[in-house]
A and B are shown apart, each in its own frame.
Chain A
Amino acid sequence: MTRFNRRSALKLLAASGAGGALPWLRSPSALGQADDVPLRILFIEAGSGVRRGSFEPEQVPREYVTEPTVYTDWAFREVMSALAPYRDRSTMFDQLDMVSATYDPTPASNAHNDGLTHMLTATDRLNADLSGGISIDQLIAQSLADQGVLTRLPSLEVMATDDAGYWSRSAQHHSYSAPGQNLPYLTYIPDIWDRLFPEPLTEDSAATAALNARRQTTHDFVRGDYERLVGRLGGEDREKIQQMMDYRAELHQRLGVVSDREFNRPDSATILDPWSELDEGYQLGNLDNRNWKTHAELIGKMAAAALHTDTTRVVNFSLQPPPDYEVGYTPGQYGTQDQHDLDHKASGDEPELTDPAAVDALDESRRIVYSQVRFVLDELASLQETDGQSLLDHTLVVVYSHIAEGSHSLNRLPWVIVGDAHRALKTGQYIRFPITATDTGQIRTGATVSERVWSSRGRPHNDLFVTIASAMGIELSAFGRSDMPEAGGIISEMLA
Chain B
Amino acid sequence: MCRFGRPGCSLAWRTKTRYRLPFKLRLLSLSHWVAVRNHVRVVGRGSCAFGVAVVGLFNLGGCSDALRSSSGEEGRAERDGQGAAARSDEESPGDSPGAEESSGDGSDSDSTSGPQSGAGDSPGSEGASGQGASDACAAELFGSTSAPLRRLTSAEYRNTVSSLFAGVELPEVELLADDRVGGFLNSAAGQPGSPVAVERYFAAATVIADSAAVSVDAWAPCTAETAACLSDIALQVGFKSYRRPLSEEESARLEAFAEEAFLSNGFDDGVRMVIEVLLESPYFLYRPEFGGETAVGDAVALSDYEMASRLSYFFLEDMPDQRLFDAAAAGELVDEAGVRTQAERLMNQARARGVLSGFMGEWVRAYQLDTVDLDWETFPDFDEAMRADMRASVEMYVDHALWEADSWQWLMASTQGFVNDRLAPIFGVEPPGSDELVLVDLDPAERRGLLTQPGVLTSTSHGIGHSPIMRGVTMLSNVLCSPVPAPPPGILDNIDEEMSSDDDDVCTTRDYVSLTHTVGADCQGCHAAIDGAGFVFENYDALGRYRTEENGCAVDATGSFPTSDFGPEVNDAIELSEALANSPQVATCLSEHLFRYSLGRGTSRADACELQALGEQLGSGDSLQELILELVTTPSFRSRPGRN
Contact = CB atoms under 8 A, between A and B. Distances in A.
B146 interface: yes
A352 interface: yes
A113 B277 CA distance: 39
Nearest to B174: A184
B193 A408 contact: no
A237 B149 CA distance: 6
Contacts of B38: 102, 438, 454-455
Interface in A81-110: 102, 104-110
Contact of A127 (B6, B7, B82): B82
Given A142-B195, A224-B253, A408-B16, A124 B290 contact: no
A221 B257 contact: yes
Contacts of A107: 31-32, 34-35, 53-54, 56, 82-83
Given A127-B80, A235-B644, A455-B41, A183 B196 contact: yes
B297 interface: no
B380 to A, nearest CB: 13
A312 to B, nearest CB: 13
Contact of B84 (A106, A114, A129, A183): A106
A179 B12 CA distance: 28
B264 A217 contact: yes
B83 A125 contact: yes
Contacts of B54: 107
Contacts of B214: none
A268 interface: no
Contacts of B149: 233, 237, 240-241
B593 to A, nearest CB: 18
B42 A109 contact: no
A191 B121 CA distance: 51
A106 B56 contact: yes
Interface string A253-278: 00000000000000000000000000
A126 interface: yes
Given A105-B35, A344-B16, A236 B148 contact: yes
Interface stretch (B280-288, B450-458, B474-482, B613-621): B280-288
B223 interface: no
Interface in B370-402: 371, 373
Nearest to B242: A225
A142 B15 CA distance: 41
B87 interface: yes
Given A107-B34, A247-B194, A124 B86 contact: yes
B62 to A, nearest CB: 16
A127 B180 contact: yes
B1 A320 contact: yes
Interface stretch (A34-42, A57-65, A333-341, A383-391): A333-341
Contacts of A341: 7-8, 11-12
A106 B371 contact: no
B86 A132 contact: yes
B179 interface: yes
Given A126-B86, A128-B371, A214-B264, A179 B257 contact: no
A107 B58 CA distance: 11
A321 B373 CA distance: 22
Nearest to B32: A107
Given A251-B195, A454-B41, A112 B2 contact: yes
B39 interface: yes
Contacts of A3: none
Given A125-B83, A217-B261, A179 B288 contact: no
Contacts of B112: 179
A158 B2 CA distance: 19
A13 interface: no
Contacts of A321: 1
Interface in A335-371: 337-341, 344-345, 348, 350, 352
A213 interface: yes
A408 B11 CA distance: 13
Interface in A155-193: 161, 170, 172, 177-184
B176 interface: yes
B109 A128 contact: no
A177 B196 contact: yes
B111 interface: yes
B198 to A, nearest CB: 4
The residue in A127, A232, A407 that gathers the most chain B C-beta atoms within 10 A of its C-beta is A127
Interface string B58-82: 1000000000000000000000101
A127 B269 CA distance: 44
Contact of A222 (B9, B111, B193, B277): B277
Contacts of A337: 7-8, 11
A106 B473 CA distance: 14
A145 B6 CA distance: 40
B198 A244 contact: yes
B199 interface: yes
B199 A109 contact: no
Contacts, number: 222
B281 A112 contact: no
A300 interface: no
Given A177-B196, A234-B644, A225 B282 contact: yes
A244 B282 contact: yes
Contact of A106 (B83, B179, B257): B83
A111 B111 contact: no
Contacts of B290: 232
A89 to B, nearest CB: 29
A56 interface: no
A455 B44 CA distance: 10
Contacts of A109: 4, 31, 82, 371, 373, 462
B118 to A, nearest CB: 14
A106 B58 contact: yes
A251 B16 contact: no
Nearest to A227: B282
Contacts of A455: 38, 41-42
Contact of B56 (A105, A112, A222): A105
Interface in A436-451: 437-439
A126 B197 contact: no
B542 to A, nearest CB: 15
A320 B3 CA distance: 13
A247 B53 contact: no
Interface string B1-34: 1101011110111011001000000000001101
Given A128-B82, A221-B277, A247 B195 contact: yes
B125 to A, nearest CB: 21
A438 B41 CA distance: 10
A145 B198 CA distance: 15
Contacts of A102: 38
A191 B39 CA distance: 45
B8 A114 contact: no
B58 A217 contact: no
Nearest to B283: A225
Interface of B: 1-2, 4, 6-9, 11-13, 15-16, 19, 31-32, 34-35, 38-39, 41-43, 53-54, 56-58, 80, 82-84, 86-87, 89, 108-112, 146, 148-149, 174, 176-177, 179-180, 190, 192-199, 202, 253, 257, 260-261, 264-265, 269, 273, 276-277, 280-283, 285-286, 288, 290, 371, 373, 462, 644
Which A-B residue pairs are the 9 nearest by beta carbons? A105-B58, A127-B83, A340-B8, A455-B42, A124-B86, A454-B41, A127-B108, A107-B35, A237-B149
23 contacts: A106-B56, A106-B58, A111-B34, A112-B1, A126-B111, A127-B80, A127-B82, A145-B195, A183-B196, A217-B261, A218-B273, A225-B277, A240-B149, A244-B285, A247-B197, A251-B198, A340-B6, A340-B12, A341-B7, A344-B11, A352-B19, A438-B39, A439-B42
Given A105-B56, A110-B34, A345-B15, 20 more contacts: A105-B57, A105-B58, A106-B84, A107-B34, A109-B371, A110-B2, A125-B83, A145-B195, A179-B109, A179-B112, A214-B273, A217-B257, A225-B277, A233-B288, A234-B644, A340-B6, A341-B7, A341-B8, A352-B19, A438-B38
